[in-house]
Amino acid sequence: MAEEVVAELRAAREAVALMDRSAIGRLRIAGRDRLDFLQRMSTNDVLKRTPGQGCTTVLTTPIGRMVDRLTVYVGEETLLALTSEGQAGRVRRWLSGYIFFMDQVTIRDETDATGLLALYGPRAAETIRRAVGADVSGLERHAWRSVPWEGETLVVAAAEPPGTGQAFFVIAPAAAIAGVWTRLLEAGADWGARPMGEEAYEALRILAGQPRYGHELSEEYIPLEAGLWSDVSFHKGCYIGQEIIARMESRGRQARQLVGLRLAALPPAGEVMLQAEGQRVGQVTSLARLPDTGEVVGLGYVRTTYAVPGTVLSAVADGQEIPAEIRFLAGSSPVRG
């Protein structure tokens, strides 16, 4: 099993790895007021995006806490919003609760009607070109295009890679997704394309400092604490939670920060606190043991005072104390190795 995960990691770093990420929610937002609606509901400036472009943006509560992080693709007549895994229904209900009587906005959940495949690695664009005949190598981050394929229309978008290299999402009708998967694997066979599972993806995500719903993304935290500065516009008009986030930015300091960690050992299952001099200063939110090196890495929130690379804290779980070194601050350039 460990050998399989090592091979998946190698494919993602050196060739291309494919992952079925259909659990990511897909909401189709339509109507004349769709862009204005999302502009007042989320942190980024979606009005600046034109058809074929996209961005990430965060839905926040009135006190600035994260409801979910969306990836939004702007089309001529509609928007496609990707939610975190399994969160399409909850996000749709949240958004629908803020549609005013005069708003011309509709939200349709397309998650079950479509599938979503992810390609990670330096040969990802080349694999897509060989599989479906589309050159996507020049797409900017979150830009997208429609691609005809065997009587169907695919959406191919440049995605956020878990680390360095390329990443793309391919969205297809549910009935076609298995055929697209097979075609992509065949197209990348010459350079070692292979499926990637959750364990390998989670290791890459943690190493890259990327927050995930249910771990680092929740209503306990504010986007700036998670290092999501590029998801927030400080020049647009009002949106839900703006006052808290703007105040935090103007003061130049947040109470805690998301950090990458290296631990001396894997803690027992359950809650893992971070302590300094016997006092609680943070919380571990994600953990993984790298199958190729045996190294234990993680993510966690730490009081800003202690959020300095090289600082060694204690990860405490079930009465055990394990040294945990801060490797990087999320949103900055991770320290590799």
pLDDT tens digit sequence for 254-278? 889 999 999 999 998 889 999 999 9
Q: What integer best gives the mean pLDDT of the chain?
A: 95
| 209 and 182 housed in the same domain | no
The answer to whether residues 44 and 56 touch, using CB atoms and an 8 Å cutoff, is: yes
- Asked, for residue 232, whether it belongs to a domain, the answer is yes
- Asked, for residue 336, whether it belongs to a domain, the answer is no
Which pLDDT value is given to residue 213?
Answer: 97
- Among 159, 175, 197, the domain-final residue is 197
Q: What is the CATH number of the domain that holds 257?
A: 3.30.1360.120
- Asked, for residue 222, whether it belongs to a domain, the answer is yes
| 50 and 125 housed in the same domain | yes
Pairing of strands 296-303, 279-289: antiparallel
Which pLDDT value is given to residue 332?
Answer: 56
| 64 and 161 housed in the same domain | yes
Sheet of 106-109, strand order: 54-60, 66-74, 78-85, 24-30, 106-109
User: CA dist 92 to 72, 73, 155, Å?
Assistant: 14, 16, 21
Which pLDDT value is given to residue 270?
Answer: 87
Which pLDDT value is given to residue 287?
Answer: 98
- Asked, for residue 334, whether it belongs to a domain, the answer is no
- Asked, for residue 337, whether it belongs to a domain, the answer is no
pLDDT above 80: residue 303: yes
Write down the pTM of the prediction.
0.95
Helix (H, G, I), strand (E, B), or coil: what is residue 99? coil
Summarised one tens digit per residue, pLDDT across range 118-153 is: 999 999 999 999 999 999 999 999 999 999 999 999
% the chain with pLDDT above 90 = 92
| 257 and 188 housed in the same domain | no
| 162 and 213 housed in the same domain | no
% the chain with pLDDT above 70 = 98
pLDDT above 80: residue 253: no
Summarised one tens digit per residue, pLDDT across range 95-108 is: 999 999 999 999 99
The answer to whether residues 109 and 27 touch, using CB atoms and an 8 Å cutoff, is: yes
Which pLDDT value is given to residue 57?
Answer: 98
Q: 109-118, 267-276, 324-333: which range is least confident on average? A: 324-333
| 212 and 295 housed in the same domain | yes
pLDDT above 70: residue 309: yes
| 159 and 187 housed in the same domain | yes
Residue with tokens 């958004």: 95
Provide the residue range defining the domain that includes 28: 2-197
Token pair listed for 88:
């399409």
| 126 and 158 housed in the same domain | yes
- Asked, for residue 335, whether it belongs to a domain, the answer is no
Summarised one tens digit per residue, pLDDT across range 197-246 is: 999 999 999 999 999 999 999 999 999 999 999 999 999 989 999 999 99
- Asked, for residue 308, whether it belongs to a domain, the answer is yes
- Among 139, 174, 197, the domain-final residue is 197
| 127 and 21 housed in the same domain | yes
Q: To 5 degrees, how large is the angle CA 323–CA 302–CA 236?
A: 150
| 192 and 212 housed in the same domain | no
Where does the pLDDT of residue 337 fall: very low under 50, low under 70, confident under 90, or very high at 90 and above?
very low
Phi, psi of 287 (to 5 degrees): -140, 150
Q: What is the mean pLDDT of residues 279-287?
A: 97
Q: Please name the residue ranges forming H helices in the chain.
A: 2-14, 34-41, 88-96, 124-132, 177-187, 198-208, 242-251
What residue type is 224 in one-letter code?
A: L
Number of domains into which the chain is organized:
2
- Asked, for residue 76, whether it belongs to a domain, the answer is yes
Where does the pLDDT of residue 331 fall: very low under 50, low under 70, confident under 90, or very high at 90 and above?
confident
Summarised one tens digit per residue, pLDDT across range 23-57 is: 999 999 999 999 999 999 999 999 999 999 999 99
| 81 and 129 housed in the same domain | yes
- Among 197, 224, 247, the domain-final residue is 197
Which pLDDT value is given to residue 163?
Answer: 83
| 155 and 52 housed in the same domain | yes
Burial class of residue 304, CB neighbours in 10 A (0-12, 13-18, 19+)? middle
82: left (phi over 0), alpha (psi -120 to 50) or beta: beta
Which pLDDT value is given to residue 333?
Answer: 39
Quickly list DSSP for 123-188.
THHHHHHHHHS---TTPPTT-EEEEEETTEEEEEEE---SSSS-EEEEEEEGGGHHHHHHHHHHHT
